[in-house]
Amino acid sequence: MSFVKEFWEFLKVRKKYWLMPIIIVLLLFGGLIILSQGSAVAPFIYTIF
pLDDT in tens, 1-49: 788 899 888 888 988 888 889 989 999 988 888 877 766 777 776 777 6
Q: C-alpha distances in angstroms, 24 versus 21, 29, 39, 47?
A: 5, 9, 23, 22
3-state secondary structure of 11: helix
d(CA 49, CA 40): 17
d(CA 38, CA 44): 12
Q: Return the number of other C-beta atoms located less than 10 Å from residue 35's C-beta.
A: 14
| Predicted TM-score of the model (pTM) | 0.60
